[in-house]
Chain A
Amino acid sequence: SQQGEEDPQALSIQEGENATMNCSYKTSINNLQWYRQNSGRGLVHLILIRSNEREKHSGRLRVTLDTSKKSSSLLITASRAADTASYFCATAPDSNYQLIWGAGTKLIIKP
C-alpha cells in the first residue's frame, strides 16, 4: 500500500504566490524525497531530506521534516508558470531500499 500521502490532491494558485504541499507517512524512514512530474511522464528529483534533518533548502524550494508527526512539507516560493506539475513525495523506509510513493499533488500556477 502507498505510505506517502500528499495533500492537497490539487492546488491552484496565482503566479508569484507561494505553494505548500504536505506529505504524511506511516513507518520510520531513512529519508524522504520530493519529485516533480510534468505531463504524466518522467519524474525529476527535487530534494532529499534525511531523517536526522529538519529543514532543507534548494533554490526556491524549502522542505521540512517532522519525524515525530511523520510528515513533511514542500514549499515553493514565488511560483512560476513552469512550476505547474504534479509533485510526489517518496519515503525510504529504514529497512528497505524501496521508495514508497504517494499519489501526488497536482499544482497549477495561473498566469
Chain B
Amino acid sequence: GAGVSQSPSNKVTEKGKDVELRCDPISGHTALYWYRQSLGQGLEFLIYFQGNSAPDKSGLPSDRFSAERTGGSVSTLTIQRTQQEDSAVYLCASSFPPGLAGGVGGDTQYFGPGTRLTVL
C-alpha cells in the first residue's frame, strides 16, 4: 500500500471493556512496531515483530496488552479490561528488517496516523 494504515482513527470506550486496534503495514516491510504516546510525551515502545521470529514483547505494560501479527502483515493490538491510564495515541510503524541498510541498528520507520484511544 501507499503507507501504513491504522484503524480506527479514534476509539472511545468505557473502563473495563476490551478494544482492538489494527495496523496494516507497508507491503514488503517485515518489521512492525507498536508504540504508545501520551499527551505531550515521547514514544513508548510496546512490541516488535520481525518476520516469523518470536515478537519482542518487552514493552507491554501489563498482561492486559497483547498483539498478534497474522501472515506477517496485518497486526492487531488488543487491550483487555481497559483502564483510564490506557488513554493515549497508539502508533504503529513498519520498516525493512533492521540493519538491512547497513549495521545492526534500527532503520527508518514509517508511521501510521495512529489511533487515539479514550477510556472513560
Chain A interface residues toward B at CB < 8 A? 2, 4, 29-31, 33, 35, 40-45, 48, 50, 88, 90, 92-99, 101-104
Contact = CB atoms under 8 A, between A and B. Distances in A.
B41 A95 contact: no
Contacts, number: 77
B43 A101 contact: yes
B79 interface: no
A48 B50 contact: no
B48 interface: yes
B113 interface: yes
Contacts of A40: 37, 39, 89
Dominant secondary structure of chain B at its interface with chain A: loop
23 contacts: A2-B42, A30-B103, A30-B104, A30-B106, A40-B89, A41-B113, A41-B114, A42-B91, A42-B111, A42-B112, A43-B91, A43-B93, A45-B108, A45-B109, A48-B107, A48-B108, A88-B42, A88-B43, A90-B43, A95-B104, A97-B98, A97-B105, A102-B42
Given A48-B107, A90-B106, 7 more contacts: A41-B89, A94-B104, A96-B105, A97-B31, A98-B56, A99-B109, A103-B40
A99 B106 contact: yes
A94 B113 CA distance: 28
A36 to B, nearest CB: 11
Interface of B: 4, 31, 35, 37, 39-43, 45, 48, 50, 56, 89, 91, 93, 98-99, 102-114
Contact of B105 (A29, A35, A103, A104): A29
Contacts of B37: 40
